[in-house]
Amino acid sequence: MPGKWDWLKDELRASGLAGATPLVIRFISGRLRGPDDLVKCALCPNMCRHACPVGIVDGRETTSPAGKTRAALLLRQGRLQPTLENVSPLYTCLSCNACSVWCPFGFSVADLVRPVKEKAAGGGSIFKEFREVFENLEKHGYVYGEPKREDSGLHGDLLYLRGCTLREKQPGVAEKAEHVLEELGYRPFTIDEACCGIPAYNLGNTRLFKRVAEKQAEKINSSGAGIIVASCPSCVYAYRVLYPKHGVKINAEVNHIAEFLEDRLKGFKGEGRVVIHNPCKLAFALGKPKALYNTLSSVEGLTVREPRRSGGETFCCGYGGSAVPRLNPQLARRIALERGVELTEEAETIVTACPTCKLALESNGFKVLDVMELLHSFTSG
């Protein structure tokens, strides 16, 4: 019968680590060479756990950041079979990247476990909760089934992309966003856009992600747009980071709407007091931790508060990464509640810049406005 820590001993021997105390210093300084990234993370005493929303709210070892990579390593080694039960810890990740802020190596657990998820999914370990998303993306290129067909405007100087969730569940926000852009002197237009594909990527189906991305890129590029503004930070992350990584090209400058407006609201006047919820994709993945704050702070007369966990140390709404709200809605809800309570200590009205964050916090009883809804309330329209 194998010993309890054989897997660890094997890795230590293979990496030449046994008995080498100074390696601990090299580890915590992020200078450890030898084992690959997944092994390094699996060996880590969870140095980022205090920042992981799942680690904090769920509190279990298996779903802690290093708990997930340990499970991934055992699956990669074949010591665990890729059953749904065994791969499930890998899907208790919000893909928020908060771990990367504290990690000595700058790792994101979401990225480390992705190849193992892809392999398990490729071998048939797919949760029934994901099948509908995959079928919808395959058939319609849209997360929510067949979208209502729309005429592409194709007139204007700015392509405004809404993303599936805003288009399907918050159409009023899109109208208000276009109105605000018009007030600022732009001529925004929309297209019959498809999904950016990121739900498939998050759920371990990278091949499908790539197919959807190619279709969406074709639609965007054939619009002739030179500048894009988008309301969903995950879409922007897909266009700006994931598409080039997978050989898909967008021929336009892509901006998230909060960063686009950062220095364009001079003279804009408002009132009241709000607290901002900084979306994790905007803060961590796109490296724009102050974009929403700067945008709103430039509105004269508006009081903008930030919660304890803000800016570059923000906290996910609980619905990030596509998997947790589908597989473990109670956990997603508990994370949303933890965040909502923290936010409303500062102000009753929460303002965010992500349709999924709005959905998560609103579904759990909080008053939430998208940044464009708030700005629209200060215009004449």
Asked if 105 is part of the footprint of ligand SF4 (rule: CB under 6 A), the reply reads yes
Residue numbers 137-166 binding ligand SF4 by CB under 6 A = none
Asked if 48 is part of the footprint of ligand SF4 (rule: CB under 6 A), the reply reads yes
Q: How far apart are CA 181 and CA 251, in angstroms?
A: 22
Interacting residue with ligand SF4 among 38, 72, 98, 351 (CB under 6 A): 98
Question: In whole angstroms, how close is the CB of 336 to ligand SF4 at the nearest point?
Answer: 14
Question: In whole angstroms, how close is the CB of 110 to ligand SF4 at the nearest point?
Answer: 4
Residue numbers 53-82 binding ligand SF4 by CB under 6 A = 53-55, 65-66, 69
Contact window for ligand SF4 (CB under 6 A) among 50-58, 213-221, 237-245, 334-342:
50-58
Which CB sits closer to ligand SF4, 44 or 87? 44
Asked if 109 is part of the footprint of ligand SF4 (rule: CB under 6 A), the reply reads yes
DSSP string, 289-340: TTHHHHHHHTSBT-EEE--SS-GGG----S-TTTTHHHH-HHHHHHHHHHHH
Query: Would you say 161 and 231 are in contact if contact means Cβ atoms under 8 Å apart?
Result: yes
Q: How far apart are CA 24 and CA 37, in angstroms?
A: 16
Interacting residue with ligand SF4 among 72, 89, 95, 203 (CB under 6 A): 95
Percent helix, strand, coil in the chain (nearest 5)? 50, 10, 40
CA distances from 189 to 39, 175, 212, 234 (A): 48, 11, 22, 20
Question: In whole angstroms, how close is the CB of 257 to ligand SF4 at the nearest point?
Answer: 24
DSSP string, 363-381: HTT-EEEEHHHHHHHTS--
Asked if 103 is part of the footprint of ligand SF4 (rule: CB under 6 A), the reply reads yes
Interacting residue with ligand SF4 among 52, 181, 250, 261 (CB under 6 A): 52
Asked if 369 is part of the footprint of ligand SF4 (rule: CB under 6 A), the reply reads no
- The CA-to-CA distance between both ends of the chain, in Å, stands at 73
What residues make contact with ligand SF4 under the rule CB under 6 A?
40-41, 44, 46-48, 52-55, 65-66, 69, 93-99, 102-103, 105, 107-110
